[in-house]
């Protein structure tokens, strides 16, 4: 899989050099390239934004640097492979595990990180005539730009690539993953020591009885899921 990310803050994507995604890159399982949008702005101050038509607060990202940057990325890519263009925005569709699974199956993802009040609409309109463009949101709150969402989307997809997880089974029990625990949130987990600050590990987990352990985990997952679903319609606790 190949991922290109366009941003005015390339340093913001440095976490993709670390940990799971960093190791996947080093192993050649994913190729990540980060591009500085300002490299495609040609005035003395490398301007990428301007005031909004129609007035109002804030600034809007100008279309020309975006067009140049995305054309450059598209030209640099593998021939005969069509990428999906992901545009993080709070107005997008909520990013979820099925979408992460779908992205993990794609050969090429381009992420266009906007800042300020957003990117001139004509950029999305132009590329939507040529490729699949997904507007994605992390949730119902407003971030300062798309970079954090790019980190989330890339990490969620890359950890699903074959060979990335040390233990292939560890994605199977994931909350939201398809499989025996489909639709359930993961239950609590424990490790050594057996007693810590007076709190002990549930007996069933040290019983060695695999059937009872699986049943206990399923019940815990169901209880946690039911509790979380109840929360959605309740005010915050104390
Ligand atoms: Cl993807 N972008 C921004 N700027 N804010 C957000 C978001 C994305 N998702 C939730 N809030």
Contact 173/28 with Cβ under 8 angstroms? no
Distance, in Å, from the CA atom of 56 to the CA atom of 183, rounded to the nearest integer, reads 43
Ligand 1 touching residue 146 (CB < 6 A): yes
What pTM, to 2 d.p., does this model score? 0.94
Give the pLDDT score at 181.
Answer: 82
Probe residue for ligand 1, chosen from 61, 111, 133, 137 as the CB with the greatest number of ligand atoms within 8 Å? 137
Give the pLDDT score at 235.
Answer: 74
CA of 21 to the centre of ligand 1 (A): 21
- What is the three-class DSSP state of 79? coil
Residue 3 bridge partners (DSSP): 32, 109
Looking from the CA of residue 136, the nearest atom of ligand 1 is 1
- Segments of the chain scoring below 70 in pLDDT: 167-178, 233, 237-238
- The H-or-E segment that residue 153 falls in is helix 147-158
Say which residue the tokens 């233990």 belong to: 167
CA of 205 to the centre of ligand 1 (A): 40
Give the pLDDT score at 237.
Answer: 64
CA of 142 to the centre of ligand 1 (A): 5
Residue minimizing CA distance to atom 2 of ligand 1: 89
Q: How far is CA 10 from CA 7, 52, 91, 98, 112, in A?
A: 6, 25, 23, 28, 12
Give the pLDDT score at 183.
Answer: 87
Burial (Cβ within 10 Å: 0-12, 13-18, ≥19) of residue 120? buried
Q: Say how many residues make up the chain.
A: 238
Q: Is the link from the previous residue into 193 a cis peptide, with omega within 30 of 0? A: yes
Residue minimizing CA distance to atom 7 of ligand 1: 90
Ligand 1 touching residue 88 (CB < 6 A): yes
Q: Is 117 a catalytic residue?
A: yes
β-pairing verdict for 31-36 and 49-50: unpaired
Say which residue the tokens 């803050």 belong to: 9
């Amino acid at each position: 899989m190949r991922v290109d990310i366009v941003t005015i803050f390339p340093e913001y994507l440095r976490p993709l050099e670390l940990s799971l995604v960093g190791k996947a890159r080093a192993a050649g399982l994913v190729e990540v390239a980060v591009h500085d949008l300002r490299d495609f702005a040609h005035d003395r101050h490398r301007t990428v934004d301007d005031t909004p038509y129609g007035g109002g607060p804030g600034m809007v990202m100008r279309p020309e640097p975006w067009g140049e940057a995305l054309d450059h990325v598209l030209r640099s890519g593998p021939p005969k492979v069509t990428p999906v263009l992901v545009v993080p925005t709070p107005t997008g569709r909520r990013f979820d595990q099925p979408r992460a699974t779908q992205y993990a199956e794609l050969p090429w993802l381009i992420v266009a990180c906007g800042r300020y009040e957003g990117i001139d609409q004509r950029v999305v309109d132009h590329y939507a005539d040529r490729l699949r463009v997904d507007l994605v949101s992390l949730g119902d709150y407003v971030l300062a730009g798309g970079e954090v969402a790019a980190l989330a989307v890339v990490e969620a997809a890359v950890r699903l690539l074959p060979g990335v997880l040390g233990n292939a089974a560890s994605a199977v029990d994931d909350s939201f993953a398809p499989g025996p625990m489909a639709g359930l949130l993961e239950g609590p987990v424990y490790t050594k020591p057996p007693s810590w600050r007076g709190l002990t590990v549930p007996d069933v987990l040290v019983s060695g009885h695999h059937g009872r352990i699986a049943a206990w985990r399923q019940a815990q997952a169901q209880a946690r899921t039911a509790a979380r679903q109840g929360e959605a319609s309740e005010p915050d606790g104390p």
